[in-house]
Amino acid sequence: MPRPRLILILGDQLSTGLTSLAEGDPARDRIVMAEVREEAGYVPHHRKKLAFLFSAMRHFAARLRRQGWTVDYHQLDDGLEDLCEAVLKSARDLDPAELLVTEPGEYRLREAMKRHWPQRLSLSVRLLEDHRFLCSREAFRDWAAGRKQLRMEYFYRDMRRRTGLLMEPDGKPVGGRWNFDADNRKRYDGKHRLPGPPRFEPDATTRQVIDQVAEHYPDRFGDLEPFWFAVTASQAEQALEHFLEQALPHFGDYQDAMTEGDDFLFHSLLSLYINAGLLDPLRVCEAAERRYQQGQAPLNAVEGFIRQILGWREYVRGIYWLMMPDYKEQNRLGSHADLPWFYWSGDTKMRCVAEAVRATREHAYAHHIQRLMVTGNLALLLGVDVKQIHEWYLAVYADAYEWVELPNTLGMVMHADGGYLGSKPYAASGKYIQRMSDYCAGCAYKVSSAEESNSCPFNSLYWHFIQRHRARFEKHPRMSRVYKNWERMDPDKRRAILARANALLEHPEEL
């Protein structure tokens, strides 16, 4: 009989469709899963994020055992330092022929497995392609080859053609347009009931995880309770159905809106389940498409939702693997300021920022506009060090893994790649937040002013950003009008705005 093999399953690979499981044999191979210090601590992950992943891992291990697999599961209390140590511990009494791993989603771990693990384990390590994504790394490289700019919109159209999602038989997009983003920018008007996400009561396994995370990380950022995330594939399917029925019909109209009365609006919160492997991305897209076909959700909602998964999610993964490891070192705008402490404490007079940080602390979640146009926009305008803001986003959100978070932060939020991912920086004044939210009404700062001592910090910092990066952006076709507006201002007003911004930049902790 052939020698047994070890199969390592990572915390974001909680899917029975893994290539490593497909190649394995439950009768002779053994699975290794582990909660280890290195993965929990290479950035200070939100405690609810850790509880979600560890509970989902333990439930997945139980599912595999029911399917006939032998699973070596190492809990946090076992005190293992890293994943390689967990594999080594399982290998000692098995004498395995090799280690099988569905390739990890993060570059650092993949490189460690390739370069260091075989020698450390005295064992062959075979990495298998992760087929849970809809565009392979090789297919993305082929798509990118020879292109001067890798625009997501064109990649998304190609993915629509490949999958047939929202396509007519003649090869044209349903509705005659590829993108309905222009229809998805309404401010929430209170006319439709906000459904909120489904909440799942923690079982004994989850309660044990919560207690262990609390014990090991008492001072780590993030509220552990109340804990209501789905932790099994079955619960994640229920969360999907809840979104499709309760929220998808209004998701498109209000996907960019923010309101103090609700942290979730009509967003799905499915990204943490998809990214961990509890939901299949293609199946999620197909389920949304059926709602449109059955007349239960409008096209702008369904297209916008599918674009986030089929377009943006696959696109940023492709960018990540195409550009790493050099991509992580990009800092084209020379951003080196320290991340203000209120990103952790929420102690700021800026109501929009305080609300985004509060939601992040409570839920390990904030929706994409809070991430991009509130905390992200402020980091861009303050010139926060790219690595510091990258590590913050990676740490605090339950759906954050480096392959998806780094391109979003470095490329889209901080424009640190010089426009490779986004054609222009997502810089905005407080007027954007006023237009898309109700935060400004209760804020200590005046959104109508830029130069006064109580003016909205976004306003003066926006113009300071525009002025200090003038040489880079003045001739940009999408930004030339901004510079013309700046020049039309009274010189004394311009000086007052820049003085206000300089005062804020010197003491950002006082915002």
Residues 302 and 289: beta-carbon distance below 8 Å: yes
pLDDT for 391 equals 97
Residues 180 and 247 in one domain: yes
Choose one of 65, 99, 128: the last residue of a domain. 128
- Phi, psi of 216, deg, nearest 5: -80, -30
Mean pLDDT for all residues in the chain: 95
Residues 192 and 280 in one domain: yes
Residues 312 and 195 in one domain: yes
Please determine, for residue 93, whether its predicted confidence score (pLDDT) is greater than 90: no
DSSP 235-304: HHHHHHHHIIIIIHHHHHHHTT--BTTBS-TT----HHHHHHTSS-HHHHHHHHHHHHHTTSS-HHHHHH
Give the pLDDT confidence of 438-476 residue by residue, as tens digits. Answer: 999 989 999 999 999 999 999 999 999 999 999 999 988
Residues 311 and 429 in one domain: no
Give the pLDDT confidence of 100-130 residue by residue, as tens digits. Answer: 999 999 999 999 999 999 999 999 999 999 9
Residue 112 belongs to some domain of the structure: yes
Residues 156 and 282 in one domain: yes
Task: Count CB atoms within 10 A of the CB of residue 112.
Answer: 18
CA angle 47, 49, 54 (to 5 degrees): 95
Please determine, for residue 1, whether its predicted confidence score (pLDDT) is greater than 80: no
pLDDT for 181 equals 81
Residues 119 and 215 in one domain: no
Please determine, for residue 332, whether its predicted confidence score (pLDDT) is greater than 90: yes
Residues 320 and 108: beta-carbon distance below 8 Å: no
Residue 336 belongs to some domain of the structure: no
Choose one of 75, 109, 128: the last residue of a domain. 128
Residue 27 belongs to some domain of the structure: yes
Please determine, for residue 273, whether its predicted confidence score (pLDDT) is greater than 80: yes
Which of the four pLDDT bands, split at 50, 70 and 90, describes residue 189?
confident
Please determine, for residue 158, whether its predicted confidence score (pLDDT) is greater than 90: yes
Which of the four pLDDT bands, split at 50, 70 and 90, describes residue 98?
very high
pLDDT for 377 equals 97
Domain CATH number, residue 496? 1.10.579.10
Measuring CA to CA, how many Å separate 502 from each of 53, 164, 175, 482, 497? 42, 52, 48, 20, 9
pLDDT for 57 equals 98
Residues 474 and 418 in one domain: yes
Residue 424 belongs to some domain of the structure: yes
Please determine, for residue 2, whether its predicted confidence score (pLDDT) is greater than 90: no
Structural domain boundaries enclosing 31: 6-128
Averaged over 140-145, what is the pLDDT? Answer: 95
Reading the block at residue 86, the tokens are 């967990």
Q: Which of 329, 327, 284 is nearest to 302 (CA)?
A: 284
Please determine, for residue 378, whether its predicted confidence score (pLDDT) is greater than 90: yes
Which of the four pLDDT bands, split at 50, 70 and 90, describes residue 428?
very high
Domain CATH number, residue 10? 3.40.50.620
Residue 332 belongs to some domain of the structure: no
Sheet strands side by side (includes 99-102): 70-74, 30-34, 6-8, 99-102, 125-128
Please determine, for residue 430, whether its predicted confidence score (pLDDT) is greater than 90: yes
Averaged over 399-424, what is the pLDDT? Answer: 93
| Lowest mean per-residue pLDDT among 27-41, 224-238, 415-429 | 415-429
Which of the four pLDDT bands, split at 50, 70 and 90, describes residue 394?
very high
Give the pLDDT confidence of 55-70 residue by residue, as tens digits. Answer: 999 999 999 999 999 9
Averaged over 227-251, what is the pLDDT? Answer: 97
- Using DSSP's 3-state secondary structure scheme, residue 472 falls into helix
Residues 317 and 348 in one domain: no
Domain CATH number, residue 189? 1.25.40.80
Please determine, for residue 185, whether its predicted confidence score (pLDDT) is greater than 90: no
Residues 175 and 183: beta-carbon distance below 8 Å: no
- Phi, psi of 73, deg, nearest 5: -115, 120
Beta carbons within 8 Å of 434's beta carbon, 6+ residues apart:
440, 447
Choose one of 295, 323, 351: the last residue of a domain. 323
Averaged over 300-304, what is the pLDDT? Answer: 95
Averaged over 165-171, what is the pLDDT? Answer: 95
Overall domain count for the chain: 3
Residue 333 belongs to some domain of the structure: no
Residues 374 and 252 in one domain: no
Please determine, for residue 186, whether its predicted confidence score (pLDDT) is greater than 90: no
Cis omega (within 30 of 0) on the bond before 226? yes
Which of the four pLDDT bands, split at 50, 70 and 90, describes residue 258?
very high
Residues 109 and 142 in one domain: no
Residues 178 and 79 in one domain: no
Residues 40 and 157 in one domain: no
State how far the Cα of 304 lies from the Cα of 182, in Å rounded to an integer: 10
Q: Which of 211, 270, 280, 214 is nearest to 242 (CA)?
A: 270
pLDDT for 423 equals 84
